[in-house]
Amino acid sequence: MPLDLDIAVQAILDRVLDRARPVGGGELADYIPELAAVDPDRLGIAIASVRGDVHVAGDADTAFTIQSVSKPFVFALAVDALGLEAVLEHVGLEPSGEPFNAISLDEATGRPLNPMINAGAIVTSSLILGGTAEAKAAHIVDGLGRFAARDLVVDEEVFSSEAGTADRNLALAHLARATGALTSSVEVATTAYFRQCSVAVTARDLSIMAATLAAGGVNPLTGDRVISADAARWTTSVMTSCGMYDESGTWLVRVGLPSKSGVGGGIVAVQPGQFGIGTFSPRLDARGNSVRGVAILEALSARFGLHVLSQGPEMRSPIAAVSEDGDHRIAHLRGELHFAQVEELATRLRPLLGGDGCLVLDLEGVTRVGGAVREVLRELPSIVGPRPDGGPAIALRDPDGVLDPER
């Protein structure tokens, strides 16, 4: 028997899908022959929390190809392996304000404007480790699988279909090669990119991948660190400004979640520190975004206050809860801890210090700690000093090692 909370979440998701089903309009991505053959009425959603809970509804386990939803995750793999500055030598971070397949190159540097458009994504794929297209693609598919918490495979029929209708992407790659932005041959880069876009996923997979970004790069199902916390933050930032192509500004106002769409019908969205969302519905609007996927995320954001810039103070608090264990008080912390959060901790937890017990700061729900704050927290027990009976007045519980100086 599921918990009452699980029943409530399921009811919410079912209701959201029921309201989205009648939404009309949109067309399949028929310029890729294999994508023109999918069932246009498929509709699914999944939500994965940073604690590893996954809730699904509708066609959440129906396979489709990831297409451009792969772009932020491959960017994350590249910056995690090479560092942000090295990647920025080849691709920028600025919104293009143009369609996904536009010729958007910086006039001064020749770099594609960002890694979310096709030109930038092809360049990003060329940066992935491996001297051949096969090696790069294998590294990408493995990385996407670590985000999704399972082994993923390429849909070979879709790959062949994409490779056979790739004139514009090949042209973009040649232009990037001519400017020096592309680090491999055109054939190697585009073949790796087409295989990347042809990876088969589900809405459930996308939600887990997004939750990995929300959790600062740690997969909430496997517990594996897929990328660094910095790489997760940088990737989420680019999704916020560039993820929905030439609708990114409107998306930020109306939905307010870092997101990425793909012409396979998927959309992935991130609520940092909390959860990831994956949706699937194949019919696309003129900008290449899923018509009903957009409707779902707009409704969720409006009804449940998910906009990242409208969170109330109670949602931003680093203190998720306070519990007791005998004489000990346990403060369960969450999200990212920077100066503002530590200031709040000092104010709100001060009354819990003293007496016969110890105040325990439980960092299990913390996704990232700023460098200077990390040092302060590690030294906090010695700064506060012992209780009158000689025991520690404050202690830290850090099962995931977020205070490790190497993180």
Amino acid at 159: F
Residue from 38, 71, 184, 248 carrying the catalytic annotation: 71
Residue from 193, 201, 270, 290 carrying the catalytic annotation: 193
CA distance readout (Å), 324 to 321, 329, 333: 10, 5, 14
31 assigned to active site: no
SS3 218: strand
71 assigned to active site: yes
pLDDT at site 112: 86
SS3 181: coil
What does the pLDDT look like over 114-149, one tens digit per residue? 999 888 999 999 999 999 999 999 999 999 999 999
SS3 300: helix
> What are the boundaries of each domain within the chain?
4-304, 314-397
Q: Return d(Cα 246, Cα 96) in angstroms, integer.
A: 7
Residues in Cβ contact with 83 at an 8 Å cutoff, skipping those fewer than 6 apart: none
Residues in Cβ contact with 335 at an 8 Å cutoff, skipping those fewer than 6 apart: 272, 273, 316, 318, 341, 365, 366, 367
pLDDT at site 363: 93
Helices (H) and strands (E) in the chain, counts: 15, 11
CATH code linked to domain 4-304: 3.40.710.10
pLDDT surpassing 60 at residue 22: yes
What does the pLDDT look like over 242-279, one tens digit per residue? 888 778 888 888 999 999 999 999 999 999 988 899 99
Residue with the bigger pLDDT between 406 and 215: it is 215
**Residue 144 has which token pair?**
């996407």
pLDDT surpassing 70 at residue 313: no
Residue from 16, 50, 74, 263 carrying the catalytic annotation: 263
Pair 211, 220: CB distance under 8 Å: yes
260 assigned to active site: no
pLDDT surpassing 90 at residue 304: no
CA distance readout (Å), 163 to 113, 197, 284: 24, 11, 21
Q: Return d(Cα 369, Cα 358) in angstroms, integer.
A: 22
Residue from 68, 198, 248, 290 carrying the catalytic annotation: 68
The pLDDT mean for the chain works out to 87
Neighbours of 135 (CB within 10 A): 14
CA distance readout (Å), 183 to 33, 90, 252, 324, 403: 30, 8, 32, 56, 36
**Residue 242 has which token pair?**
């560039």
pLDDT at site 247: 81
* Mean pLDDT, range 361-367, rounded to an integer: 91
Residue from 245, 261, 281, 290 carrying the catalytic annotation: 245
List the one residue out of 267, 155, 257, 146 whose CA is nearest residue 207.
Answer: 267
Q: Return d(Cα 403, Cα 183) in angstroms, integer.
A: 36
Percentage, residues of the chain above pLDDT 90: 52
pTM above 0.85, yes or no: no
First to last CA, the chain: 39
State which fold the 314-397 domain adopts. Transcription Regulator spoIIAA (3.30.750)
pLDDT bucket at 4, cuts 50 / 70 / 90:
very low
* Mean pLDDT, range 197-201, rounded to an integer: 97
Pair 172, 101: CB distance under 8 Å: yes
